[in-house]
Amino acid sequence: MLHTEVRELKLPDTPSPGMRVKSGDTMPAIVEVNDLRKTYSGGFEALKGVSLTIQAGEILALLGPNGAGKTTLISTLCGITQPSSGSAIVGGHDIQKDFREARRLIGLVPQEVALEPFEKVINTVRFSRGLFGKPRNDALIERILRQLTLWDKRDAQIKELSGGMKRRVLIAKALCHEPRVLFLDEPTAGVDVELRRDMWQIVEELRQDGVTIILTTHYIEEAEAIADRVAVINGGEILLVEQKAALMKQLGRKVLRIDLTTAVQAVPEALAGYDLELSADGTSLTYTYDTRAERTGITRLLQDLAGAGLSLRDIQTKESSLEEIFVGLVKEGAA
């Protein structure tokens, strides 16, 4: 599993739990991307040799800022864009040589809402199923439409639907041919809370059915909430692929907040070496430390706090979010 190694980022040599899963034999790879490059006719290099292995049944969040190459990567895997070089295999089928078999396995929910405005909901979903070479299955389509609360709207023309409803139709179209790999390109961008919750629910159900889900997002909380692994892409390159938990563990910085019984004017001299931040009202101190470090300095800090005569009312620690990790990574990549 060469392709999932961490790039451009120095991580501890000791294997993390995430790394063990990556090299494990239990989960077969369903998508293998090998040195995929895409240069558009204008000369823009959207993908600069992307390699990535995605295991069957996992949820991978592809995280990156706008223009990072997320959509190009998905479009290339789905057949909308042709790669300039490199290869990709989906379910054992080469996406170019054996495109028919590869694409049969793939469902795509695109970022842009693109639907035939004058067609009825149910017909456009049936069309998608037929297009993917599947015989008509009204029971399945009913189940999907009900799941997406579209059943009552099945005879409505697309143009009569709200934005959120249209997005549901796109999801129904992607699911109606029973894909094994589902690409969700920014599925919750501009979507209301209710749909976002439904989406996550559907993703969870699909996961239970063993569907592999690749989701692009720049909402980090989305990745944090549902992904098993996170890949960070920027400037057409994968910066890192890691188990979400391991990533947060490895890269995460923790914040220790110390609430004081009585407010102080300034950080006492004796604690100057700790880089503490005092809150505006003088009642709490925050200390940021690296969980990867051999010594976090917490024990000494607590002793020194007592030594400085401060009495503590409460202490709490908080893990840094993926967002903070992500911003750090992208900055590091750009440097």
The least CB distance from residue 38 to other proteins, in Å, is 9
Separate counts of helices (H) and strands (E) for the chain: 11, 14
Q: How far is the CB of 27 from other proteins (least distance, A)?
A: 25
Owner of token pair 């009825």: 120
Smallest Cα–Cα separation from 84: which of 125, 51, 36, 130? 36
The residue (of 18 and 83) whose beta carbon lies closer to other proteins is 83
Q: Whole-number minimum distance, CB 151 to other proteins, in Å?
A: 20
How much helix, strand and coil, in percent to the nearest 5, is found in the chain? 35, 25, 35
Nearest distance, CB of residue 210 and other proteins, angstroms: 20
In angstroms, give the least distance from the CB of 67 to other proteins: 16
N-terminal to C-terminal alpha carbon distance within the chain: 28
CA distance 68 to 242: 18
Cβ nearer to other proteins, comparing 107 with 333? 107
Helix, strand or coil, per DSSP, at residue 63: strand
Minimum CB distance to other proteins, residue 132 (Å):
6
Note every long-range contact of 286-292, with CB atoms under 8 Å and residues 24 or more positions apart, other chains counting. Answer: 286/255, 286/256, 286/257, 286/258, 287/255, 287/256, 287/257, 287/258, 288/253, 288/254, 288/255, 288/256, 289/253, 289/254, 289/256, 290/253, 290/254, 291/249, 291/252, 291/253, 291/254, 292/12, 292/250, 292/251
- With contact defined as beta carbons under 8 Å apart, do 125 and 141 qualify? yes
Phi, psi for residue 4 in degrees, rounded to 5 = -95, 5
- Which of 134/143 has CB closer to other proteins? 134
Pick between residue 41 and residue 311 the one whose CB is nearest to other proteins.
41
Question: Least distance (Å) from other proteins to the CB of residue 45?
Answer: 14
Is 85 within 8 Å of 37 (Cβ atoms)? yes
- Site residues (vs other proteins, CB under 8 A): 40-41, 75, 78-82, 99-104, 106, 108, 110, 112, 114-119, 123, 126-135, 173
Q: For other proteins, give the closer residue by CB, 163 or 307.
A: 163
Nearer to other proteins, 41 or 262 (CB): 41
Nearer CB in complex with other proteins: 165/247: 165
Of the candidates 332, 91, 326, 88, the one whose C-alpha atom is nearest the C-alpha of residue 217 is: 326
- 13 or 118, CB closer to other proteins? 118
E runs forming strands in 45-155: 45-55, 59-63, 85-90, 93-94, 106-109
In angstroms, what is the minimal distance from the CB of 119 to other proteins?
7
Q: How far is the CB of 41 from other proteins (least distance, A)?
A: 7
Shorter beta-carbon distance to other proteins: residue 98 or 323: 98
Distance in angstroms (rounded) separating the CA atoms of residues 141 and 161: 18
Q: What is the maximum alpha-carbon separation in the chain?
A: 77
